[in-house]
Structure 1
């Protein structure tokens, strides 16, 4: 899929793409941190119709909802080929004892045999995070291992 990026001087950036159904969608990322999702009438980029607006926190939540499952799906495809291996997302909740602490402090791989292969943070993906990567509330850890190992990582992260 091609995503076009257009600079909007004084406003921010607009990202545009065409869906599989042929609809043209735009996302305006404003300098203020707000986002506006627009649809285009008849493909005319001058006739954008606002669909909804999001503040920065809402945009982060939407990105997590849309992003984390897609990454987990990709790993799920891989694990279908290897019997006994699974992948699941594990969310770092605000009450986790590991918020603002390095991933290595969890000792998750040593304790469970499961591996954190990525961290989804908002729109960003941190692939192959090292032990010094600091965990943040709201992060989604992509964990690969046995079901027992993944359950163990979930227990560790939740405290």
Structure 2
């Protein structure tokens, strides 16, 4: 969770001086706004947390081999977001976006904080691109995924 915390702090710092209008501004047709990126991160963390809870209760859940998730922040390859984590087109203010992210992080921390690392390593679920990841890797994935989108936000900010 240390990397997740560091990336989250960098993310909040990156957007903290932006206005609601700036984070909702479309800089390139067909591309997400900063607000949409933030909503996507909230949706992703919420889904991951709920799935971790379900897999911890799933006696059929199996271990998975370690995958090269360190490559997740690399934006040189495009990944299509699954429909359940695609953000809306609604105007969302910065404060609301940050509050949602704080809520989703608190939920993840509450779950992970109560579980031994060995248990997280013995259960898994499937990532749409990477295949089965153990729950420990899923926790790390959240931060690496967020780092990927922090880079995206920096790219958008350059175009504002």
TM-score by length of 2: 0.28
**Greater helix proportion:** 2
**Greater strand proportion:** 1
Greater relative contact order (Cα < 8 A, sep 6+): 2
Larger Rg: 1
